[in-house]
Amino acid sequence: MTTDELTRRPALISSAIAAGGAVLAVVAGGYASPVGLGFGIAGAAFLALGFVRGTNSAIDFGSLLLFGGVLVGGYEGGSVELALLGTVGAVVAWDLGQSAIDLGEQLGREAETTRLEAVHVASSVIVGLLAVTVGYTMYVFAADGQPVAAVALLLAAAGLVTIGLGVRYRRSGELRRGGSQYP
């Protein structure tokens, strides 16, 4: 009388979009650099493994490789546009990959999750595109001749803010993590 066991596998729509992001990252990284392509393909392979097995760490590692490919491609090719798009692709692959696994574990593949996944995809892509727009605008307007001091200060600012937020993160993570209710 019971239904079959829930298939706790990654959700399909998110996985598909994540694969799309991975392809974008591979293309962006491999366009100008064979090393970048190698990184990208290795990353895509790990991502695929992550989706098949539903393991978060494979997704993490695969996306990191994808991003590495994008960086190598950006360094060798020097195309800011490709680097920006490739980064968005890698981050989307990572983000949606994790979301797909979470959704699969919590709700299973049978559940209707289209709307939820649509929101995920939209938020992830829109944030990426906004970042690209702002970053690219800054890049175009301040392309040449920024003082070294400004770059150093900006870098330090970014680092400190991230550390500050990261510390908040870890604190709250320890204090507020609700124990899992079910085995």
Partner 1 sequence: MNTRHLAIAIGILAFTLAIAVLGNVLTLGVGSWAIILVGVLTLLVALNTLTRRHGVRDHGTTPDPEHRYRVPAPGAELTDAVDQFRSRRNDLFVPSNRIHAGLREAAIAALTRFQGLTPAAANERVEDGSWTDDPYAAAFLSPSVDPPERSLRERVTDRFVRDVSFRDSVRRTGAAVAAIGYTGLGDGAPDRSESRIATYERDDTEEDEPVPRTTQTPVDGVVERSSRRTGHWFGVGVVALIAISIGTFTESAAVVMAGAVGIAYAGFGHAMEAPTPDISIERTLSEETPEPGDEIGVEVTITNESSRPLPDLRFVDGVPPGLAVSEGTARLGTALRPGESVTLEYTVAARRGRHVFDPALVFTRDLSRSSEKEFLVGSPTSITCEPVLRPITTSVPLRATAATFSGRLTTPEGGSGTQFHSVREYRKNDPLNRIDWNRHARTGELATLEFHEERAARVLVLVDARKANYLAPEPDAAHAVDRSVAAAGRIAATLLEDGDTVGLAAIGPLDKREEDGDDGPVEQCWLGPSSGHHHRAQFQNLLATHPQFSTLAPPKSRRWTPQLEQIYRRLSSDTQIILLTPLCDRVSSDIVQWLDARGYAVTVVSPDPTTDRTTGNQLARVARRIRRFDLQRTGVPVVDWPADQSIDEAFARINAGSGVSSRSGSTAGSTAGTDSRSDAGATTGSGAGTGTEAGGSP
Q: How far is the CB of 115 from partner 1 (least distance, A)?
A: 5
Q: How far is the CB of 133 from partner 1 (least distance, A)?
A: 10
Phi-psi region of 144 (alpha: psi -120 to 50; beta: other; left: phi over 0): beta
Q: Which is nearer to partner 1, 35 or 127 (CB)?
A: 127
Q: How far is the CB of 173 from partner 1 (least distance, A)?
A: 5
Q: Which is nearer to partner 1, 44 or 67 (CB)?
A: 67
Q: Which is nearer to partner 1, 37 or 91 (CB)?
A: 91
DSSP symbols for 9-25: ---HHHHHHHHHHHHHH
Q: Which of 68, 88, 76 is nearest to 32 (CA)?
A: 76
Q: Which is nearer to partner 1, 52 or 152 (CB)?
A: 152
Q: How far apart are CA 125 and CA 4, in angstroms?
A: 35
Helices marked H in 78-109: 80-107
5 in Cβ contact with 104 (< 8 Å): no
